[in-house]
Amino acid sequence: MDQRPKAVPTVQVSNERVQVTEWRFAPGAETGWHRHEMDYVVVPITDGRLLLETRDGNLEAELTLGRSYARSVGVEHNVVNASPHEVAFVEIEVR
C-alpha cells in the first residue's frame, strides 16, 4: 500500500485557552488518525473536498472558503485531501 504524504500543521497560537493551527494539504495528503481532545472550529481558507476516514466508514466533506463549522470533543478520524489541488484550513481548538 502506498503511503500518503502528510498534511503540514503550523501552530499559530497556543496558550491556556486556545490552540490555533493552520493545516495545509497537498493533493492526497492526510493528517493521520487522531482523536480530538477539545471542541474545535474549522475555518476553510481554500475550497476543496476532504475524505474523512472514520471507524464507522468514510465520508466526504466540501470545504467552502470562509464557511466555518464546529465539532465537539471526541471526534476520531483521518482527514485526507480528495481534491486535485492544495487545500488549507485554520483549526481553532478551545480548551
- Amino acid type, 34: H
CATH number, position 16: 2.60.120.10
Three-state SS for 88? Answer: strand
Q: How many domains, in total, are found in the chain?
A: 1
Residue 68 lies in a domain: yes
Residue 3 resides in a domain: no
Is the model's pLDDT at 1 over the cut of 90?
Answer: no
Q: Name residue 44's amino acid.
A: P
Residue 2 lies in a domain: no
Contact 84, 55 (CB under 8 A): no
Q: What is the pTM of this model?
A: 0.94
Q: Chain-wide mean pLDDT for the chain?
A: 96
Domain that holds residue 65: 8-94
Whether residue 1 lies inside any domain: the answer is: no
With respect to residue 61, please indicate whether it lies within any of the assigned structural domains.
yes
**Share of residues in the chain with pLDDT > 70 (%):** 98
Q: Is the pLDDT of residue 2 over 80?
A: no
